[in-house]
Chains A and B, each alone.
Chain A
Amino acid sequence: MGDPKDPSDPAGTQGGIREPDPTLGKPAKPFAPEPVAARSPEPPSQESPSQESWSPEPRPPGSVPSHAATSHAAASRSSESRSSEPRAPEPRQPRIRRQRVVLAEPSRSSNSLRARVELEEQTSWGELLIKDLVKVQLRTAVLLGLLVFGVLCAIPAVFYAVPAVTQLRLAGIPVPWLLLAVAPFPLMFGVGLWYNRLAERRERDFVNMIEH
């Protein structure tokens, strides 16, 4: 993970997709357009300080917690930074012993919401993420485009430079007709499929990075 003080750290890029900002999705911090500056009064460590400051009793994972209703809201807010943290049940009905059933991991909505806000507010980090995505998508498009259009433009150039090629035949059919009437279409469709896969994978990676 890159140094959080320097969001433009080039070492954080990996295959064009930047490592997520370590401050993304961390609770207990009012949102500010400049995350690095806003974080300085907070303790810089990862998760334990916020955990201790909000829930007084240590809870082993899986146990049924018994919080006071006042601390519950804050505790659940803080616990969302850790996916394994169970949520408290309704504390107002102590007689009915409800078993807490966790069907899936807790919602990541606050996490992804924070990341979205960073993107939308065009913080330096959010803008950098988008610039990286644009750059890598453009690079793929240009490379694949050059591949296809290079091949297409090479065909008449070869005819011009080596006119003898036009006389060749393959199974009785002149090579130029095969090259021009048949060959380009599978090539273009194949490259189209390829680009589509690459672009969709990039976008999936980007979304995963934002939402985790």
Chain B
Amino acid sequence: MQVNPWALVSVALVVVVTFYLGHRTSRFARTTHDFLVARRTVRSRRNAAAIAGEYISAASFLGVAGLVLKEGADALWFPIGFTAGFLALMLFVAGPLRRSGAYTLPDFMEARLSSPALRTASTWFVVFIGVLYLLPQLQGAGLALMMIMPAPAWAGSVLVTVVIAYNVMGGGMRAITLLQAFQYWFKLYAIAAPTFVLCAVFVAGGAGAPGSAGSLDEPAPPNFAAQTAVTVDTDVTLGVDSPTRVRLDDGSGDGGSGDGGWTTWRPGSQHAVDAGSTLTFPEGAAVPTVGQATSANLDWLLPSTDLTGLLSTYSLLLALLLGTMGLPHVLSRFYTNPDGKAARRTSVQVLLLLGLFYLFPVMLGLLSRMFVPELLITGDTDAAVIALPTAMLSGVTGQLLAALLAAGAFAAFLSTASGLVSSMSGVIATDLLAGKVRDYRVASVGVAAVAVVLAVTLPIDDLALSVGMSFALAASTFAPLLVLGIWWRRLTWLGAMVGMCTGGGLVLLAVVLNAVSAHTGEWAPWLVQQPALVTVPVAFGLTVLVSTATAGRIPEDVGAVMLRLHAPDPLGFMRDRAVQRFGRAEEHTRTTPGRHRK
């Protein structure tokens, strides 16, 4: 590994700017109302940039390109689903959710169904989904830092955690709004500029340019453009489609028989390679792939046309579509809008911002298939975005572009993780603690500490896939409750509880089965890896069934609540539940001695 000094400088800059912006804006945050919902003063344009900034996580910035490199056309469903989720959110949830006046997701549940039990249950689900989503961000940060400097895997996770814990503790939602908006525009620049440069280089050089691994529409895997040595960091099993010459050097010296350790891998058999080995391929050799990655370029280029592919595509789409509206950190940003109309406008603008962004990781994924195919061997496809510029351009230009991309990746870790920590702290502070500012700070430190410990100790998974599981969980727990709660008068808390627990339980079962299957020979079918196609309809159906059976428990104030959710904003039926519980910000400054003079 060579150290890229530019990348170190740019990542340090991003961290410092984030730290500084958070520090400055947190001076204005004093009350619980500031910390939870930024005093409900965020206009739609700023909030849209903040939501997009928070939503474009490592899974989008690094993971999408990696998946395109590995799976090709089928991976394109990830950006589509990520964006379509906001369309569903806008159509069915955004405006009424804001008008409910709630300040957290559990608070909305209690406002709608007046059940403390449901509130407690959803608190735990919020925390669970948040941690599940936070872990890959922190682990990705460790991975990214390892790519640009010789650091242990925990260093990046700890760095990101410290910065966001400081910002969230200092100003909560008030502080991170500006940060996340800034980080969206920075990320867009950090991925767009390198993509334009690399595409220009590619077009100038053509598909057969030096360093390219061959045209993408050949029915063969990509080839190595020069003799290439690849060091494998974890045990992998590789497969090839055509006889491939390879020299295996596993450090012990028994390089096999024949001429200087060279052997030939035959197609059809799997070759186990131990960690620490170095594989050397001659020029023109076909690139082998790990496990299930699509090896031949033509299969990669075309979408899958079999029934399993179709069903798992639907399952993925459903999870992303409904999962977005159940993600607590996304929803908690909508509470900061001044009214329901602004919330709806926010989500339209988010659609534009996300659509713009997702063009670029796909392009980078295409290029990385041609220029860094050796990542298919190590299975480390999330590194594609950062490894690509130096593979295509030698010298300072490539290093500068790689530095920009690394900085963008760090902005992604920082903004997503800060949104997650702040929404979890809000929920814990108001539901498990007393809801004072000090409780919020304690909660944020606690959440950050638990998350970083878990991130360092648990094994690392594919970024986009583990994020996909938390989407499935959100889609099977909160999405049915939100949609039915907003549009269906006859929902009862019992139905909501049964639906949420069953949907969540099924997804957790799938997570466990998946982990077991990963250690015992990959026997799990596609449904276990992408369970939303079953769990979401089950959750919806059970919620409706049990609600209908317990019609006597329909809350008495359902009419008033529906009026508040749906009456247009100018009529003024909105009640701010945060103000009702914690008091108005101005009153609070008057009762706090001395602080308001700052």
Contact = CB atoms under 8 A, between A and B. Distances in A.
Contacts of A159: 303-305, 310
B251 interface: no
Interface stretch (A63-71, A72-80, A198-206): A198-206
A127 B489 CA distance: 12
A156 B310 contact: yes
B355 A166 contact: no
B305 A166 contact: yes
Interface in B49-71: none
B303 A180 contact: yes
A176 B303 contact: yes
Nearest to B301: A174
Contacts of A141: 91-92
A79 B562 CA distance: 34
Interface in A154-189: 156-157, 159-160, 163, 166-167, 174, 176-177, 180-182, 184-186, 188-189
B562 A192 contact: no
Interface stretch (A44-52, A92-100, A132-140): A132-140
A87 interface: no
Contact of A206 (B90, B302, B313, B568): B568
Nearest to A160: B310
Nearest to B354: A185
Contact of A156 (B314, B345, B352, B566): B314
Interface in A106-148: 116, 119-120, 122, 126-127, 130, 133-134, 137-138, 141-142, 144-145, 148
Closest 8 CB pairs of A and B: A185-B355, A203-B568, A180-B76, A141-B91, A163-B305, A192-B348, A166-B302, A122-B559
Interface stretch (B77-85, B147-155, B268-276): B77-85
A184 B567 contact: no
A141 to B, nearest CB: 4
A174 B88 contact: no
B83 A185 contact: yes
Given A134-B566, A180-B80, A200-B341, A119 B351 contact: no
Interface residues of B, number: 54
A192 B570 contact: no
Contacts of A174: 73, 217, 301-302
Nearest to B352: A189
Contacts of A137: 566
B91 A127 contact: no
Contacts of A182: 359
Given A145-B87, A204-B568, A207-B568, 8 more contacts: A119-B563, A119-B567, A138-B487, A157-B310, A159-B305, A166-B302, A188-B84, A192-B87
A180 B487 CA distance: 31
A181 B87 contact: no
Which of A167, A189, A200: most chain B CB closer than 10 A? A189
B362 interface: yes
A186 B314 contact: no
Contacts of B344: 196, 199-200
Nearest to A144: B91
A160 B307 contact: yes
A202 B566 CA distance: 11
A148 B302 contact: no
B58 to A, nearest CB: 20
A166 B87 contact: no
Interface of B: 73, 76-77, 79-80, 83-84, 86-88, 90-92, 95, 217, 301-307, 309-310, 313-314, 317, 321, 341, 344-345, 347-348, 351-352, 354-356, 358-359, 362, 487, 559-560, 562-563, 566-573
Contact of B348 (A126, A157, A166, A189): A189
A170 to B, nearest CB: 14
Given A177-B73, A184-B84, A145 B562 contact: no
Contacts of A191: 87
A126 B84 CA distance: 35
B367 to A, nearest CB: 13
A137 to B, nearest CB: 7
Given A166-B302, A193-B348, A122 B563 contact: yes
A36 interface: no
Contact of A120 (B73, B304, B355, B563): B563
A143 B88 CA distance: 12
B566 A133 contact: yes
Nearest to B365: A181
Contact of B80 (A167, A176, A184): A184
Contacts of B321: 149
B348 A196 contact: yes
Which of B84, B217, B321, B341: most chain A CB closer than 10 A? B84
B306 A160 contact: yes
A173 B345 CA distance: 34
A122 B573 CA distance: 13
A142 B487 CA distance: 11
26 contacts: A116-B571, A116-B573, A120-B563, A130-B559, A133-B566, A145-B87, A149-B88, A153-B317, A156-B309, A156-B310, A166-B302, A174-B217, A174-B302, A180-B73, A181-B76, A184-B83, A185-B356, A185-B358, A186-B355, A188-B355, A191-B87, A192-B86, A192-B351, A195-B90, A195-B91, A207-B568
Which of B95, B344, B348: most chain A CB closer than 10 A? B348
A162 to B, nearest CB: 9
A60 to B, nearest CB: 35
A148 B355 contact: no
B13 to A, nearest CB: 31
A174 B298 CA distance: 11
Contacts of B301: 174, 177
B80 A152 contact: yes
Contacts of B302: 166-167, 174, 176
